[in-house]
């Protein structure tokens, strides 16, 4: 024990060492769920960093932009590989070598080498199903990161070549599951008379309400797209209604059904540009044919199959130099 001049007790070197060891042990005790949550947060931060770097790279001359974009792609590729390696090592430190191990751990099933059959309760089966979905998501992120950068570069180059002659460019939208609605919100904000009252939350409500009101017309398309797993306890209509509730209240990703609903809710012509697929037009009945699009401008979006680890992302397309 050591004492300061004022008579106060100070920690000895042995005590300081013990506190350091205790802190290290606390860090080692991070649970699997805490680790996966931190991994998701780190992936999200990397995605936000990519958006920020891309926006910064969009400044300057065309030659400067091209050079900056290449630097951004190389930097994100390096950081993605580092993060993937770090996450794999951390999961291995807890004894989880495969996605199946992660699923069992999250759902509360003990991992053992025995082949004894286990009777699982409904609650455990539900947790295991959710865990499988979560583990599959984590695995997809890690597996696709190695290929996603090169695919993304090819896709972006094709899209740029398509948009540049039209005087258009990409305005990056946050990849949080709301990207379709945020991209539409961004498009509406380009025209002041469209902006009021149409945030992404309100757009989701509008789409869900429209889909519910038009169940008879939309149900066949919903079933064809297999948007939800078959549930013997629910009718097709009930399944569709549940999906509409998800559209309204969760970050469920929007697809063709939702884009179609947006065209009718907003009475807008929507064009979706892509570097991987043919461009798509919806709501042609709302397209301005008078030669001037000032009165009812079209909504311009871009679809990116390889934008991030999970792919399938929407951005807003704006006139070059506007944003």
Structure tokens at 200: 């992404």
pTM for this one? 0.59
Q: Which of 210, 145, 201, 157 is nearest to 176 (CA)?
A: 201
State yes or no: is 87 an active-site residue.
Answer: no
Q: Which of these CATH numbers, 3.50.50.60, 3.10.180.10, 3.90.70.80, 3.40.630.10, describes 167-323?
A: 3.90.70.80
Domain range summary for the chain, segments of one domain joined by +: 14-159, 167-323
Catalytic (active site) residue 288? no
| 323 residues of the chain, pLDDT tens digit each | 544 444 545 556 566 565 655 555 555 567 777 888 888 888 888 888 888 888 787 777 767 777 788 888 888 888 888 888 888 888 787 777 665 565 555 545 444 444 444 555 666 677 777 777 777 776 676 665 555 566 778 888 899 999 999 999 999 998 888 999 999 999 999 876 544 558 999 999 999 999 999 999 999 999 887 655 555 578 999 999 999 999 999 999 899 999 999 999 999 999 999 998 999 999 999 987 654 556 789 999 999 988 765 568 999 999 998 76
User: Which of the following is catalytic: 41, 74, 100, 176?
Assistant: 176
Which letter, b or e, does each residue of 96-135 get, where b requires 16 or more Cβ atoms within 10 Å of its Cβ? beebebbbbbbbebeeeeeeeeeeeeeeeeebbeebbebb
- Pick the catalytic residue from 39, 87, 178, 179: 179
Residue 213: active-site member? no
């Amino acid at each position: 024990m050591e004492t300061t001049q004022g008579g106060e007790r100070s920690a000895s070197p042995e005590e300081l060492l013990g506190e350091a060891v205790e802190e290290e042990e606390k860090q080692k005790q991070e649970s699997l769920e805490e680790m996966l949550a931190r991994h998701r947060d780190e992936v999200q931060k990397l995605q936000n960093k990519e958006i920020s770097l891309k926006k910064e790279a969009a400044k300057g001359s065309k030659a400067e932009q091209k050079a900056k974009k290449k630097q951004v792609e190389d930097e994100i590729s390096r950081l993605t590989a580092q993060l993937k390696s770090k996450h794999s090592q951390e999961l291995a430190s807890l004894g989880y070598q495969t996605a199946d191990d992660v699923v069992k751990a999250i759902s509360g099933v003990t991992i053992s080498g025995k082949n004894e059959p286990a009777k699982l309760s409904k609650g455990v089966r539900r947790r295991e199903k959710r865990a499988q979905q979560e583990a599959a998501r984590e695995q997809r992120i890690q597996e696709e990161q190695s290929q996603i950068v090169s695919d993304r570069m090819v896709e972006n180059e094709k899209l740029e070549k398509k948009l540049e002659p039209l005087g258009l460019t990409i305005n990056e939208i946050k990849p949080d599951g709301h990207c379709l609605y945020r991209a539409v919100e961004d498009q509406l904000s380009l025209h002041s008379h469209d902006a009021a009252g149409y945030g992404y939350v309100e757009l989701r409500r509008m789409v869900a309400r429209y889909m519910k009101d038009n169940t008879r017309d939309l149900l066949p398309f919903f079933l064809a797209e297999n948007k939800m797993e078959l549930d013997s306890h629910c009718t097709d209509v009930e399944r569709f209604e549940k999906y509409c509730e998800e559209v309204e209240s969760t970050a469920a990703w929007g697809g063709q059904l939702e884009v179609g609903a947006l065209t009718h809710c907003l009475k807008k012509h929507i064009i979706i540009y892509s570097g991987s697929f043919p461009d798509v037009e919806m709501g042609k009945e709302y397209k301005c044919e008078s030669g001037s699009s000032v009165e009812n401008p079209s909504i311009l979006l871009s679809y990116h199959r390889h934008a991030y680890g999970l792919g399938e992302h929407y951005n807003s397309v704006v006139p070059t130099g506007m944003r």
